[in-house]
Chain A
């Protein structure tokens, strides 16, 4: 199994969620996050005083999938999250040892 984590622009959440549901992903976790990449945030001006806001709002989406689906899910996320502008985010994949469904105690792929 794999854990796919995507940190993306907040306003893309609905498209990504819908696309993943259409693809057949059963569940996901969304967290509000903040951070910066190479573009280092933005500047705000208050009465002429400039402030560098380097931590910009993002959302983090986490999805657990079977190994075979990982590449396709990454593609779905990347396609729906992309705006082409700077700050679109990152997606990464890490291996997962075990997954347990808390209610039933099911383990592995059955627990997804």
Chain B
């Protein structure tokens, strides 16, 4: 066993885990006060659901031996059967399969959580939980197999997706678009102001994502080596450049360098460098970042023009950013990998995932809607899904509410005293 590589992958798994709560804060700050907790929960619940599913059958479907045609893994490793702490990847110098499985679990948990931002404020929590359970099973596990398993058909086609541009970001971006088209717009979309309630929370989330993304990207080398170092460097510089790209576009177009723009640009850069980072040099990474920042900044306005309510711009950031990174590998890849042939492969991979994910995600969302209703009732949406589904509220602003809760406690105290007096008497 290679101890250094194993340690690196285990630490990377922990870093990737942090991305899901990071995403929860990134999204949580962008919604209105009344659905903050729901937004956090829609991401956080994924860590619960997917962790369990991954052990039950997810790992086996994604990384088991091919069932045929490069489409899906087999059922040999249901319940992680046949994998002991001693089982290593790639012979004596490998890492424990369990370390790899844990690392990949974090990807599987993050991907459905990415979609939650598109459905902010307006879906039933139960329906969301059901939807992502089905979605990872029918969409994510197979697509991960296509892209990353040596038998997968996109892997064999030599599509480069180092850390998840297609399997994670394009997949989630398209899935989110399909779900939004089924669920519909928020009440008051385009009419009522729906500005973010806490930009500091958005910034905190973006920062945690950035930090965790080093595990996501560099960890995908599965070894503490030069590829990982290149990926880590590229992750940093592409993200910095994307932040600049977004801010410059925004300054020219809208007149201000906004905080939300800086946070969004950083995430767009992280998305775009994900598939590409191992195949380009640092200069290529900067180019990818600049393009992703500026183009995603433009792309988020599409929802107003096209009239779909992707609340927190999952399509504009993850789908568009993922496509940019996936295609630019074909252009900017070093070491004789790039060129027209590779560009064609990259496009084929991107469109295959888009087509499959869109159709199946749409059918799943429709199915969930028919079965239990996807959408919150109008009353619940207007008064806020936090209270409807979680029986909580994120903040207590009102001094009056404080007083009344103090009063609610008071009668009990008074009656206690009264009782004591009776006893004394």
**Which residues of A are in contact with B by a Cβ distance under 8 Å?**
44-52
Contacts and interface: CB of A to CB of B under 8 A. Distances in A.
Nearest to A49: B304
Contacts, number: 31
Nearest to A47: B300
B255 A45 contact: yes
Interface stretch (B256-264, B337-345, B402-410): B256-264
B193 A51 contact: yes
Most B-side CB within 10 Å, residue of A46, A49, A51? A46
Interface in B303-342: 304, 313
Nearest to B316: A47
A64 B297 CA distance: 54
Contact of A47 (B193, B255, B261): B261
B304 A47 contact: no
B300 A48 contact: yes
Contact of A48 (B193, B196, B297): B297
Nearest to B193: A51
B381 interface: no
Contact of B264 (A44, A47, A51): A47
A46 B258 contact: yes
Contact of A46 (B196, B253, B297, B304): B196
A50 B301 CA distance: 11
Contacts of A46: 195-196, 258, 260
B313 A47 contact: yes
B254 interface: yes
Contacts of B255: 45
A52 B300 CA distance: 20
A52 B297 CA distance: 21
B72 to A, nearest CB: 38
Most A-side CB within 10 Å, residue of B193, B250, B253, B260? B193
